Structure 1
Amino acid sequence: MPHLTIGHGVVTPARLKNRFQRHVLTLSVAAASSVVAQGVWAQAPAAHHEHHHALNTMVVTAVPLSSPLTVETDPRIPRQPAPASDGADYLQTIPGFSAIRNGGTNGDPVFRGMFGSRLRVLTNGSQMLGACPARMDAPTSYISPENYDSLTVTKGPQSVLWGPGASAATVRFDRGPEEFDEAGVRVDGSVMLGTYGRFDRRIDAALGNKDGYLRITGNQSEANDYQDGDGNAVPSLWDKWNGDIALGWTPDNDTWLEVTAGRGNGEARYAGRGMDGSKFLRETVGIRFQRENLGEHWKRLEMQANYAYADHIMDNFTLRSPGSMDMGGGMDMGSGMDMGGGMDMGGGMDMGSGMDMDGGMDMSDGMAMRLDRRTRSARVASTWEWENTTWTAGVDVEHQVHRNLDGEHWQPDYEQTQFGAFSEVTRFIDERDRLIGGARVDRYRVSDESLDTATTGLTRRDTLPSAFIRYEQDLASAPVTWYAGVGHVERFPDYWELSSSQAGPAGSLNAFDGVQPEKTTQLDIGAQYNDQRLSAWVSGYAGYVNDFILFDYNTAGMGGTQIDNIDAQIAGAEVGASYQLTDNWVSNASLAYAWGRNANDDEALPQIPPLEAKVGLTYAHDDYSVGGLWRGVAAQNRIALEKGNVVGQDLESSSGFGVFSLNGAYQASNHLTLSVGVDNVFDTTYTEHLNLAGNAAFGYPADLDRGINEPGRMVWARADFSF
């Protein structure tokens, strides 16, 4: 079959045909939805529905706290930098969040320096876990933020309602029920064009009446390789799409039943990995039921069940040209393979023409690896209310199976089952004071199903508790709310940390046998101030982590990878403010700092983001606004060389940088808003501290010890419409 070579990638006619068909389908759905909406709009009276959000005349540059401990926002509003391609990208709008960068898309979110399952990410109340052993498909890579109605972040171990292990934070992307007073249709959508071939389109349409609704959401996002501030191309293209359908029943104001199904796929090229993602198939099915006001004190019953399937392929020939690599500097294949310390084939890699360890790896025929994961979950919760007390209690369960394709046969290599019970109480001491506390207990059963390892067939079982208590007060003397809370979370190691191909703590057979659960105890404090012109907030934390799970990529200088338990100290804070200078001018600023220490070795904890500040200024008048955003990041000299997590490691100390961006928005009508932006106006060349080193396949030096440069100047324009 002939090939078209584009940059470093190889694109077959079949792939071009599939891409063209997806473009036509997306545009056809958008056009048809708009025509239907306009026709019904002309015939039917206006209907009230919860999710018909007002078009915003300002571009969001920072997301403030909605309450002392919680961030709530509408992820459909235009934001800067350029509208997000995935969940991790959007979360970086929130102070305290960063990401381990892959280049263009599919970064892995980090909050306060904490990574992976310490950060629980949910969509409609359930987990969508990826399949890649090195998290090429992190959970947030399957999330298109603008397809959800709300984003809620709860900081710290200060809730037990949404599952186990969330020692850093709980992140929830949710869609709520549609609420039509009478028969009607609504359509929301957007189209965005930008530099480097960026092209996004989204449609969200619903029709229904007071008894029920049908809702369809879909999006497609794509981009080519970007250029850094020096004009050098960085392999980073992506093309991804999602489609979801929801059928809801709302027979009265107290009842909601919804059945959902969704599918998505995509591909992404990674400058910092030895292979790219050529398939990110997502399939989800769910059912949710909610009933309110069941009795005098029984206020709510919630039930849901979910199924999520991820089918992932990574290879070195779909989006790049395979060829021989210089193995002198070692190579991270992006799949848990460390060439310096041996290689676990995982049963799923086709080596094509094989591997010559003396002369390097011949990849002329390419190599590929296919893996999948099925996750099934369920949750039941009830809420009771008395005069001064609210109590929520329930149970949840999750079962996941991870497999790899060995030739023509699927081979399970990991299975996990978790059962949990939780209880959370809010006690209103008086009009201004309240006490919130909760506890949960989780039972785990985890099996190593991989072939030919020291722990094949071994099953681990454990029971882990978590709890918190928090005091909140609204001051009478000022518009201030403050809080202080202590939480304790015991987190069972996840699939990536239990990889049986990796060495575990001293004396253990491997990581699966030896890595112990983390135990985090953390103090969270903060306050929020609100008056007519000034809104300000501060959140601080200090904690101790027993058995912190640490990856060492150069154990005793031997080049191997070891997963170990250490003790760690963590601390930091986020602070932000927004001030109405005049009727038209608004300023905002935020600052985030995280600190960590390896208490065993008396050195820095790795993968901690540096001090970061953001300052914004916006002028808004009538139907338009213009604004600027400056982001400044300090140097990070507190590092632990060659230590980190399953995705990233500390490469070297990083330099500080500053990036300035501009934006504007114009509300052309009640149904149309136009927004534009210039990210990195001065075309600054810079590198994020949390990053991957460039891969030799793209011409990067084999001994490169610094991260990949970020995009240079980018111009984008977006149209949001609503009917």
Structure 2
Amino acid sequence: MTVTAPEASPLTVVTNLKTPRQPVPASDGSDYLKTIPGFSQIRNGGTNGDPVFRGMFGSRLRILTNNSDMPGACPARMDAPSSYISPENFDVLTLVKGPETVLWGPGNSAGTLRFDRLPPQFDKPGIKGSVSLLAASSRRYDENADVSLGSEKGYIRLTGNKSRSSDYQDGNGDRVPSRWDKWNADVAVGWTPDKDTLLELTAGKGDGEARYAGRGMDGSQFKRESLGMRFEKSSIGDVFDKFEASAYYNYANHIMDNYSLRSPSGPSMGGMGPMDMGSSLGMASMDMPDASSMHMSGPMAMQLDRRTVGGRMMGTWLWQGVQLQSGADMQLNTHRSKKNRGWVKDARFHDYGVFSELTWYATTQNKVIGGARLDRAIVDNEASNGKDSRSDTLPAGFVRIEHTLLDIPLMMYAGVGYTERFPDYWELFSPTYGPGGSASAFDNVKTEKTTQLDIGAQYSGERFTGWVSAWLGRVNDYILFRYDSANVYISQADNVNAMTMGGETGFSYQLTDHWKTDASLAYSWAENTADNKPLPQIPPLEARLGLNWESGNWSSGGLMRLVSSQHRIAENEGNVVGKDFERSSGFAIFSANVTYKATQNVKLSAGIDNLFDTAYSEHLNLAGNSAFGYSANTPVNEPGRTWWVKANVTF
């Protein structure tokens, strides 16, 4: 059982997404990420939280699926990119911390996340795959299937899942509005004429609904459509070794309303049907953070969509002791809202980038990696009368040294990176005002510039493995949201300077042939140096302690999660999803699991999360909505004692 995330190196985390985990298997990408040290999420109920890494949120953390990008459509990120991801439909998760790579798009100051499906391998015609069933508290049921048919010359892979749950109860026994129902289905067709060539076509769909204790509206539609193509050719020549190219189309169609999954507060407006929220400027803020005091005047709905088209190509060249990866990528996405029964375009984003990353194996002990990229970003404000446009050229680069000792199995690294991030849709179009109270965030929010030092070390012994990674960053023109304390619907996007620092560390130790222990610790600290106050939305110190036992076909594990209080807050400041509204208390949560391998292909597992039924809430949280009986600035509690059982069959 995985209780803390495995590490490929202190800088890069690689996780097998098919491996069982605790707590209860994830309902979306963000839920899975919180098992990796340094990750947290802005919570608002049961599912579709927004991931935060090292206290950094939004487009500072790029999330890719099979090399494709899928930004959501909601102006308050109800449909964050991670909400469209079912982790068990993918094979491998790779995280690169900080601005320490340039291969995967611009502005990735916090890190780069990639959810990937690997092409199935066949040495003879056949079928392989896995099927799993999950049942848990709160009438949660999940079904997952991943089946591949193929031979040496090609394959067809089908993946699908369905996940649903009712409202959960917190540790006090109170019901928390949090139910969801979602599904995804994808197909991949691959042609492999030889072991060095791959051509793959993919298509997928998904949809769902979710209600939120911490929002003024619920998500009644999360429709996804995806198309993709990739080509890879390896072992081309002595120097030019590999060429890869991919293209994708992703479409998100999102509806939020206050009547499908809850009863709207107040009378309807003269017996009329649902009000078109998009018909009035400012109505988008109805789902902004801390809407606990909101009283809607009747049924309301808002429909938005976003089409994203992109692609990349990259070549790999090899010389003696040197590897060069170089290429180009692009993305075009268009955002619309439905008004008066018709679609109206409000934003159009373009990005064109070139990049190169070079690895020099200087000696058997030393490796030097460096990279640079240059992007041209253009955005059109289609909603303005004059159709404003703005553009910028964004540089990025890094250099890192990795050193391995000969006498002991210890690797150390130090790297410095710089990246410039163009403001995203939510920072340009969601705020009421721009910096200094200016009338337009679109015209006045500056690009964000991050310079960061990353250092780390990893020891890999026979019984003991330990790692540590740390960072120190300077962010010029950090994009910060300020909220009006008297009117929650009024927000201002501002630029401030910031200092960030912190780190993660962990170890695992094989106590005996049957017992193993592991632990991790993560801490983030950030300061708004322009105002000499804390930066908002920074998670507190968190530790995880695990103990695992394995013998024959049986294994079991226990997990203790310890989270400190957080007193460093910036009241009424945050991001487009959440803001700091009160200090938070610390808590300790205990969980346990057991697994039985019935046959070589059948595995049964069960677990209990929050064993002692503790009532607690996360620091990164939305205030509960008054429509569900929450008073102002009351955080949403997490689930109480939760049991789950899972059966997994591989073939």
Smaller-chain TM-score bracket: over 0.9
Q: Provide the TM-score with structure 1 as the length reference.
A: 0.86
Which residue of 199, 205, 213 maps to 1:263?
205
* Amino acid in the other structure paired with 1:495: Y
The one of 119, 122, 138 equivalent to 2:61 is 119
The CA deviation at 1:154 is 0.4
State the distance in 1 between where 2:283 and 2:383 align. 11
Does the Cα contact within 8 Å between 1:128 and 1:375 map onto a contact in 2? yes
Structure 1 position 532 matched with structure 2 position 462: yes
Over residues 79-129 of structure 1, what are the superposed CA-to-partner deviations in whole Å (9 max), with x where a residue is unaligned? 101000000000011000000012100000000000000000000011011
Unaligned runs of 5+ in 1: 1-58, 326-332, 350-358
Of residues 250, 256, 259, the one that matches 1:314 is 256
Q: Please give the alpha-carbon distance, in whole angstroms, between the structure 2 residues aligned to 1:69 and 1:570.
A: 17
* Amino acid in structure 1 at the alignment position of 2:613: D
Give how far 1:321 is off. 1.1
Gaps of 5+ in 2: 268-274, 288-293
Aligned to 1:362, which of 297, 304, 310? 297
Tell me the distance in 1 between the aligned counterparts of 2:570 and 2:487: 14
2-side partners of 1:324 and 1:483: how far apart?
Answer: 59
Q: For 2:282, give the aligned amino acid.
A: D
Partner of 2:270: none
Aligned to 1:667: 597
Question: Cα distance, 1:156 vs. partner?
Answer: 0.5
- Aligned partner of 2:548 in structure 1 is 618
SS at match of 1:498: helix
> Take 1:361 and 1:596, find their aligned partners in 2: how far apart are those partners?
36
User: Secondary structure of the residue that 2:428 maps to in structure 1?
Assistant: coil
The match for 2:516 among 586, 609, 622 is 586
C-alpha separation between the residues in 2 aligned to 1:424 and 1:706?
48
1:410 aligns with 2:340: no
Q: Alignment partner for residue 563 of structure 1, among 493, 512, 515?
A: 493
Residue 627 of structure 1 deviates from its aligned partner by 1.3
Partner of 2:397: 467
Q: How does 1:388-537 map to 2 (within 5 A)?
A: 388-451=321-384, 456-499=386-429, 502-506=432-436, 508-537=438-467
Aligned match of 2:241? 299
In the comparison of the two structures, how many residue pairs are matched? 637
Q: Which amino acid aligns with 1:110?
A: V
Matched, 1:212 2:140: no
Residues 1:434 and 1:347: Cα distance change in structure 2 (over 3 Å): closer
Distance 1:360 1:476, change over 3 A: closer
Amino acid in structure 2 at the alignment position of 1:93: T
Amino acid at match of 2:602: L
Which letter maps to 2:552? D
Letter in 1 for 2:379: V
Match of 1:274 among 216, 219, 227: 216
| Alignment CA distance shift 1:539-1:504 (3 Å) | same
CA distance in 1, matches of 2:422, 2:559: 40
1:371-382 alignment, distance < 5 Å: 371-382=304-315
| Cα distance between partner residues in 1 of 2:57 and 2:488 | 26
For residues 131 and 159 of structure 1, the distance between their equivalents in structure 2, rounded to whole angstroms, comes to: 27
What is the match of residue 719 of structure 1?
A: 647
> What percentage of aligned pairs have identical amino acids?
55
How big is the shift at 1:68? 2.7
Deviations 1:678-701 (A, max 9, x none): 000000000000000000111112
Q: Give the whole-Å Cα distance in 2 for the aligned partners of 1:105 and 1:94.
A: 18
Match of 1:628 in 2: 558
> Residue in 1 aligned with 2:638?
710
Is 1:249 the equivalent of 2:187?
no
Per the TM alignment, residue 494 of structure 1 is displaced from its structure 2 partner at its CA by 0.2
Q: Distance in 2 between matches of 1:230 and 1:313?
A: 32
Distance verdict in 2 for CA 1:557–1:191, change over 3 Å? closer
- Residue 301 of structure 2 aligns with an amino acid whose one-letter code is A
Deviation at 1:558, TM superposition (A): 9.6
1:346 Cα deviation after fit? 5.7
Deviation at 1:705, TM superposition (A): 1.5
Name the counterpart of 2:43: 101
Tell me, yes or no, if the aligned pair for 1:214 and 1:248 is still in contact at 8 Å.
Answer: yes
Q: What is the one-letter code of the residue matched to 1:253?
A: K
Residue 361 of structure 1: CA displacement? Answer: 3.8
- Structure 1 moving runs of 4+ over 6 Å: 555-559
TM-score by length of 2: 0.96
Q: Is the 8 A contact 1:651 1:706 kept in 2?
A: no
Match of 1:180 among 119, 122, 135: 122
Residue 571 (structure 2) aligns with = 641
Distance of 1:291 and 1:590 partners within structure 2: 39
Contact 1:555 1:561 in 2 (8 A): no
2:505 partner letter: V
Aligned-residue offset at 1:706 = 3.3
Root mean square deviation, CA, Å: 1.9
Structure 2: distance between partners of 1:507 and 1:708: 31
Q: 3-state SS of the aligned residue for 1:146?
A: helix
Residues 348 and 407, structure 1, Cα contact 8 Å, conserved in 2: no
Report the CA distance between 1:507 and its aligned residue. Answer: 6.7
The answer to whether the Cα contact below 8 Å between 1:348 and 1:405 also exists between their aligned partners in 2 is no
Q: CA deviation at 1:182?
A: 0.9
* Structure 1 residue 554, shift from structure 2 partner: 2.1
Structure 1 residue 191, shift from structure 2 partner: 0.4
| Equivalent residue number for residue 291 of structure 2 | none
Partner of residue 63, structure 1: 5
Give, in whole Å, the separation in 1 of the partners of 2:574 and 2:88.
31
